[in-house]
């Protein structure tokens, strides 16, 4: 049975400043206090700034995340001169390009691009405040198909389509060779009788010409991409499929989530982009790195909720299974949220806390001393650089970089460690986590 | 603090009263610790929620503070909290919570 | 701070110490935990 190889990874960013107002936090705050809209508008950055923003260049593959260490914080003050829209494994799109693709991805004519006045009960689409169109409700009496929700769902679909197109082109894969698509986006696709019915995967497969594929949505909060990649790898290993696509679209709800902190510090509203990603898996080809299914980390129901229990399940146990020490993993890819975004809002540095936790576990396992923790974090971690788009930052943005380094012979092993805050859905107080190892061939 | 959580805490306080009520925090950084500690002592510092202007005056501790962990048997500490104490930069967090506690006591 | 027989509100954070862990520790020290929550900010 063949190992599952990572044949390609692609990432896309869409600058959508006029959609920031529809993010969950901005829309609620604007409803309480309409002047918040002006405050946001005064702090939006132009497209050039988004392209030149070093973390965005790292996201699309033009800069190694580790190299961000040498760029002074806050990084929005250090635009990259060599920045390009086209990345080694990704692309940045402007808002007009997004709106055009949004309309193209809409099979029910809910998206209208027009400079006419948006009708009542629609969600207006603007360009710097001027009307360029609107989104209708899916059905006037359906609370799960309001104009806002149709925009969210179509935005997730649209952004996923573009990332999928990029990875198909990058790997010169015939779309018709894809047999299955796993979607990891967190939007609920459905109607009033089946609010989260799903299968955005198949909608995207149709849009990109994957005529031999069906698919399904993997729902696991921010941990979904890790679950989906492991499931995809398992289908390859089992000989069930030859080509599997894993996708994840962007989240309108997460736009401007931390905007209050940004406005208060008079900095740009950095959560002005939708992010998406796509991966292709197939049987090992002798050169592409493989997903090691012998050492998948699972945070199980019975594992316990302490940080020690979580990281033991996700890191210690897989390492033990492979007979490896903590330092044998070249890079750990944890939740990679950009600290430029989170720190001004008082939410700390998420990747750093994750890396320190791994180092702490190494100390408690007797493989590291406490004074050696900072050096471990520098050597085996990286600065955060990914937009706070929920499931997107959860370790998997690094796969493009890891794959490139492994093909170049400069990296042997990378471990992706993903986590999900299931308790937010109020069905359980548990969190979730999943990890896997990518290995060079 | 999230407005719904403020409302829940308000409900808890309404139901059980503030006597013998203590708040324990698990914040990973000083900013978050400060926001939560201030909200349950002096009232919502952002003046946005149900606890705006409501000084509950509750004693608040971070779970990793010596006042709490010194009471724990070593094996309980090792299993539940040791890793967090290694992971988090605790000094700045403790400073903030201690300052808010003493401000409340002198208020 | 003697937590024995005190009522406790446990406010955990996902990247720090989770609510349930605070709850379990407080219970070990004899407290009655009346409310537990874990925050997630990303």
Work out the end-to-end distance of chain B between its first and last CA atoms, rounded to an integer number of angstroms: 22
- % of chain A at pLDDT higher than 90: 98
Domain limits, chain C: 7-34
The predicted structure's pLDDT at residue A44 = 98
Is there a contact between C11 and B36 if contact means CB atoms under 8 Å apart? yes
Average pLDDT in the A352-370 region?
97
The overall average pLDDT reported for chain A is 97
Residue B76: CB atoms within 10 A of its CB come to 16
The predicted structure's pLDDT at residue B107 = 66
Structure tokens that stand for A32 in this block: 């309480």
Place of tokens 């609107």: A134
Chain B hits for C3, CB-CB cut-off 8 Å, are 22, 68, 71
What domains can be seen in chain A, in order of their start residue? 4-117+150-283 (3.40.47), 291-439 (3.40.47)
Do residues A272 and A256 touch, judged by C-beta distance below 8 A? Answer: yes
Any C CB within 8 A of A428 CB? no
* Residue A336, pLDDT above cutoff 90: yes
The predicted structure's pLDDT at residue A305 = 85
Structure tokens that stand for B42 in this block: 């002096």
- % of chain C at pLDDT higher than 90: 79
The model's pLDDT over A238-247, given as tens digits with 9 standing for 90+, comes to 999 999 999 9
* Residue A125, pLDDT above cutoff 70: yes
What is the phi/psi pair of residue C18, to 5°? -70, 155
Burial, A32: exposed, middle or buried (Cβ in 10 Å; 0-12, 13-18, 19+)? exposed
The model's pLDDT over A65-113, given as tens digits with 9 standing for 90+, comes to 999 999 999 999 999 999 999 999 999 999 999 999 999 999 999 999 9
* Residue A37, pLDDT above cutoff 70: yes
Task: From A360, A418, A155, select the one nearest A273 (Cα to Cα).
Answer: A155
The region that residue A372 occupies, defined by phi over 0 for left and psi between -120 and 50 for alpha, beta otherwise, is: alpha
Nearest residue, CB atoms, B72 vs list C13, C28, C37: C28
Q: For residue B19, what are the CA distances in angstroms to A51, A169, A389, B37? A: 55, 66, 42, 17
Give dist(CA A13, CA A285) in Å, integer.
Answer: 30
Chain C hits for A431, CB-CB cut-off 8 Å, are 14, 18, 38
User: For an interface test with C, which of B22, B27, B37, B94 has the most C Cβ atoms less than 10 Å from its Cβ?
Assistant: B22
Average pLDDT in the B71-79 region?
95
Chain C hits for B8, CB-CB cut-off 8 Å, are 35, 37
Chain C hits for A350, CB-CB cut-off 8 Å, are 15, 42
Residue A363: CB atoms within 10 A of its CB come to 21
Task: From A154, A277, A282, A283, select the one nearest A226 (Cα to Cα).
Answer: A277
Any C CB within 8 A of A348 CB? yes
Is there a contact between A429 and C38 if contact means CB atoms under 8 Å apart? yes
Is there a contact between B83 and A360 if contact means CB atoms under 8 Å apart? yes
pLDDT band at A306 (very low <50, low <70, confident <90, very high): confident
Do residues A293 and A437 touch, judged by C-beta distance below 8 A? Answer: no
Chain C CA closest to residue A388? C42
**Model pTM score:** 0.95
Structure tokens that stand for A9 in this block: 């990874």
Task: Give the DSSP per-residue string, C1-42.
Answer: ---TT-EEEEEEETTS--HHHHHHHHHHTT-EEEEEEEE---
Regarding predicted confidence, which is higher, B18 or B23?
B23
The distance of C13 to chain A (nearest Cα, Å) reads 10
Cβ partners under 8 Å of residue B14, min gap 6: none
């Amino acid at each position: 049975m063949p190992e599952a190889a990572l044949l390609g990874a692609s990432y896309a960013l869409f600058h959508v400043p006029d959609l920031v107002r529809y993010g969950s936090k901005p829309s609620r705050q604007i409803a309480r206090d309409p002047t918040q809209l002006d405050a946001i508008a005064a702090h939006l950055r132009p497209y050039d700034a988004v392209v030149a923003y070093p973390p965005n260049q790292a996201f699309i593959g033009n800069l190694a995340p580790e190299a961000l260490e040498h760029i002074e914080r806050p990084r929005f003050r250090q635009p990259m001169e060599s920045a390009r829209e086209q990345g080694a494994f990704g692309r940045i799109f402007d808002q007009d390009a997004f709106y055009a693709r949004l309309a193209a991805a809409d099979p029910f004519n809910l998206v209208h691009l027009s400079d006419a006045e948006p009708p009542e009960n629609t969600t207006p689409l603007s360009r710097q405040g001027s009307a360029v169109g609107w989104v209708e409700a899916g059905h006037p009496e359906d609370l799960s198909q309001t104009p806002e929700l149709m925009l969210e769902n179509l935005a997730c679909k649209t952004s996923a389509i573009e990332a999928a197109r990029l990875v198909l082109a990058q790997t010169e894969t015939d779309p018709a060779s894809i047999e299955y698509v796993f979607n990891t986006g967190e939007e609920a696709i459905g109607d009033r009788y089946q609010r989260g019915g799903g299968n955005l995967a198949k909608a995207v497969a149709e849009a990109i010409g994957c005529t031999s594929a069906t698919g399904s949505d993997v729902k696991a909060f921010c941990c979904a991409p890790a679950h989906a990649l492991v499931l995809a790898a398992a289908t390859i290993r089992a000989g069930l499929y030859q080509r599997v696509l894993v996708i994840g679209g962007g989240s309108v709800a997460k736009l401007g989530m931390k905007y209050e902190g940004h406005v208060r510090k008079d900095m740009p509203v950095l959560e002005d982009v939708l992010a998406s990603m796509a991966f292709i898996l197939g049987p090992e080809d002798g050169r592409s790195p493989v997903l090691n299914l012998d050492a998948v980390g699972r945070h199980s129901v019975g594992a316990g909720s302490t940080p020690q229990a979580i990281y033991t399940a996700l890191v210690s146990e897989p390492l033990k299974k492979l007979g490896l020490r903590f330092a044998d993993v070249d890079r750990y890819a944890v939740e990679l949220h950009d600290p430029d975004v989170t720190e001004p809002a008082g939410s700390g540095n998420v990747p750093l806390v994750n890396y320190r936790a791994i180092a702490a576990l190494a100390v408690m396992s007797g493989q590291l001393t406490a004074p050696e923790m900072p050096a471990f974090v520098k050597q085996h971690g990286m600065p955060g650089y990914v937009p706070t788009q929920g499931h997107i930052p959860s370790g998997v943005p690094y796969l493009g970089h890891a794959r490139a380094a492994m093909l170049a012979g400069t990296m042997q092993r990378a471990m992706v460690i993903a986590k999900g805050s299931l308790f937010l859905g109020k069905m359980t107080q548990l969190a979730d986590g999943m990890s896997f190892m990518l290995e060079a061939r | 603090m999230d407005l719904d959580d403020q409302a829940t805490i308000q409900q808890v306080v309404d139901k059980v009263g503030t006597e013998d009520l203590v708040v324990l925090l698990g914040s990973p950084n000083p900013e978050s610790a400060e926001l939560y500690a201030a909200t349950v002592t002096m009232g919502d510092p952002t003046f946005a929620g149900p606890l705006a202007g409501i000084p509950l005056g509750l004693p608040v501790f971070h779970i990793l503070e010596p006042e709490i962990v010194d009471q724990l048997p070593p094996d309980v500490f090792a299993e539940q909290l040791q890793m967090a104490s290694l992971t988090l930069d605790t000094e700045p967090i403790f400073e903030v919570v201690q300052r808010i506690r003493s401000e409340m006591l002198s208020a | 701070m003697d937590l024995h027989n005190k009522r406790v509100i446990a406010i955990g954070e996902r990247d720090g110490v989770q609510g349930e862990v605070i709850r379990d520790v407080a219970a070990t020290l004899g407290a009655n935990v009346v409310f537990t929550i874990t925050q997630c900010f990303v």
